């Protein structure tokens, strides 16, 4: 017993406590995350094109899975970079990583409202778009519509335009429905669907009732028409694949679906579907390439962003996924694809600006009330 109080024991105790403290500190560091890791270089260091000394790896987070597969091979081969992609289904998956301190993600394809949130929270690198040759390829329409700049700095490069149209069965309808009212038409009872998304569905109801979908003035009317619509619907779809299957299986004849899923249903699944923007208008947004702070390979990511905006590679986005790239690809398309991707000038398209907290909250309350009714 006495031995344990001598110097060697004190040493052991100190070692034990030191070890425990070190382990604890290491565990705490691991648990709390450090973030802010990554390269010493930042995209704005690039003042001439092409950038030199690309890193040998690139970690993408891009939800255009099929296009990402193409990009992994094509970009990787051209620039001798080992590319990987994480296909995500919900933006909060990558956003939470940025909140925790990114040290893994190099490049994200992010929707406008999430880009805005990321810029506000200083999660993104500024991009030297003036030295990027492919920046010239981005159409003015999408450059002006997207929200990715702050105080004269640019934090993203548009990747695609995402339209939320009315998708319909073109064998069931003789011509494209010209109003969202088709989703309230009792003639189609049981053959309609809506998107289980508070913002999208409430904005459709706002357009149908002649209101501003970004800042509506009569929430009660929106709730009322959505409740009226409920008995006419087969279901609210909550997953893109599920939504597309409803049309492919011809369970429904009309409802909201993305342009890309409509393209896949039509050209890859052979379903008799097409899309339109009703006269009341249709919402659209954009997806953009961003480079998050903490990216371990920021220069390779910048090179990738430029490469993805080259016409040939952007055209692949449409060919593989059916989404409208931010680049004019009309010369690359077949007549059939060109017809499908053409958005007539007379369409009333409303850019889906980020909603205020109040509107988003009211839309959420309405949608919950509608589903519970």
Partner 1 sequence: MTEPSRSDDGGAGSGGDPEPVTDGGSAAVDGRVSDLTAFLRERPRLRTLSIAGPPYGILVFFFAIPLLAMLVVSFQADQIGGAWTLGNYVDFLTSDTYLTVVWRTFLISVQVTAIVAAVGYALAYSIVRFSRRTTLLLLLVILPFWTSYIIRMYAWINILQSDGVLDSILNLVGLPAVGLLYTKTAVLIGFTYVWLPLAVLPFYASLTNLDGDLIEASKDLGAGPIRTFLSVTLPMTINGVITGIVLVFIPTFGSFITPRLLGGTNNVMIGMVIENQFKSAFNWPFGAAIGMVISVVVVALLLLATRFGGGLFGAGGETS
Residues that bind partner 1 (CB under 8 A): 1, 3-4, 9, 12-13, 16, 31, 90, 92, 196-199, 230, 233-236, 238-239, 241-242, 245, 249, 251, 357, 360-361, 363-365, 367-369, 371-372
Task: Please say which residue, 174 or 357, places its beta carbon nearer to partner 1.
Answer: 357
Task: Please say which residue, 249 or 330, places its beta carbon nearer to partner 1.
Answer: 249
DSSP letters spanning 314-344: HHHHHHHH--EESB--GGGS-HHHHHHH---
- Residues 6 or more apart from 10 whose CB is under 8 A from it? none
Cα–Cα distance list, 5 to 1, 16, 17 (Å): 7, 15, 16
Rounded to a whole number of angstroms, the minimum distance from the CB of residue 52 to partner 1 is: 41
Distance CA 139, CA 110 (A): 18
Rounded to a whole number of angstroms, the minimum distance from the CB of residue 6 to partner 1 is: 13
Rounded to a whole number of angstroms, the minimum distance from the CB of residue 161 to partner 1 is: 21
Q: Is the dihedral of CA 137, 143, 148, 149 positive or negative?
A: positive
Task: Please say which residue, 94 or 304, places its beta carbon nearer to partner 1.
Answer: 94
Distance CA 240, CA 237 (A): 8
Distance CA 62, CA 291 (A): 12
Task: Please say which residue, 248 or 326, places its beta carbon nearer to partner 1.
Answer: 248
Rg for the chain, CA atoms, rounded: 25
Distance CA 192, CA 229 (A): 10
Strand partners, 349: 282
Q: Is 281 left (phi over 0), alpha (psi -120 to 50) or beta?
A: left
Q: Which of 251, 231, 234 is nearest to 169 (CA)?
A: 251
Cα–Cα distance list, 348 to 183, 279, 351 (Å): 18, 7, 10
Task: Please say which residue, 199 or 264, places its beta carbon nearer to partner 1.
Answer: 199
**3-state DSSP helix/strand/coil percent for the chain, to nearest 5?**
50, 15, 35
Rounded to a whole number of angstroms, the minimum distance from the CB of residue 201 to partner 1 is: 11
Rounded to a whole number of angstroms, the minimum distance from the CB of residue 359 to partner 1 is: 11
Task: Please say which residue, 133 or 238, places its beta carbon nearer to partner 1.
Answer: 238
Rounded to a whole number of angstroms, the minimum distance from the CB of residue 202 to partner 1 is: 11
Rounded to a whole number of angstroms, the minimum distance from the CB of residue 105 to partner 1 is: 19
Task: Please say which residue, 143 or 360, places its beta carbon nearer to partner 1.
Answer: 360
Task: Please say which residue, 16 or 77, places its beta carbon nearer to partner 1.
Answer: 16
Rounded to a whole number of angstroms, the minimum distance from the CB of residue 233 to partner 1 is: 5
């Amino acid at each position: 017993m006495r031995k344990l109080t001598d110097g060697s024991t004190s040493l052991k105790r100190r070692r034990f406590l030191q070890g425990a403290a070190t382990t604890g500190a290491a565990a705490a560091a691991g648990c709390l995350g450090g973030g802010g890791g990554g390269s010493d270089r930042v995209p704005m260091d690039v003042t001439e094109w092409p950038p030199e000394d690309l890193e040998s790896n690139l970690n993408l987070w891009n939800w255009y899975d099929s296009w990402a597969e193409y990009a992994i091979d094509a970009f990787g081969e051209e620039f001798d970079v080992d590319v990987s992609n994480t296909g995500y289904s919900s933006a909060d998956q990558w956003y939470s990583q940025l909140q925790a301190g990114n040290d893994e993600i190099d490049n994200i394809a992010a929707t406008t409202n999430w880009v805005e949130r990321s810029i506000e929270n200083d999660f993104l690198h500024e991009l030297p778009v003036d030295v990027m040759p492919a920046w010239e390829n981005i159409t003015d329409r999408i450059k002006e519509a997207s929200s990715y700049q702050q105080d004269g700095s640019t934090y993203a490069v548009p990747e695609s335009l995402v339209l939320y149209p009315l998708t319909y069965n073109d064998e069931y309808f003789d011509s494209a429905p010209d109003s969202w009212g088709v989703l309230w038409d009792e003639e189609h009872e049981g053959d309609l669907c809506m998107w289980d998304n508070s913002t999208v569905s409430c904005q459709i109801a706002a357009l149908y009732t002649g209101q501003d979908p970004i800042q509506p003035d009569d929430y009660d009317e929106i709730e009322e028409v959505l409740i009226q619509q409920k008995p006419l619907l087969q279901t609210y779809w909550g997953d893109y694949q599920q939504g597309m299957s409803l049309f492919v299986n011809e369970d429904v004849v009309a409802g909201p679906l993305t342009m890309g899923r409509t393209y896949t249903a039509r050209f890859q699944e052979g379903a008799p579907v097409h899309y339109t923007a009703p006269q009341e208008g249709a919402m659209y947004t954009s997806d953009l390439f961003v480079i998050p702070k903490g990216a371990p390979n920021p220069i390779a990511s910048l090179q990738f962003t430029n490469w993805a905006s080259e016409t040939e590679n952007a055209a692949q986005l449409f060919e593989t996924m059916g989404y409208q790239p931010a680049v004019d690809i009309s010369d690359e398309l077949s007549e059939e694809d060109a017809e499908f991707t053409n958005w007539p000038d007379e369409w009333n398209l409303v850019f889906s600006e980020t909603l205020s907290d109040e509107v988003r909250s009211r839309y959420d309350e309405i949608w919950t009330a509608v589903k519970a009714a």
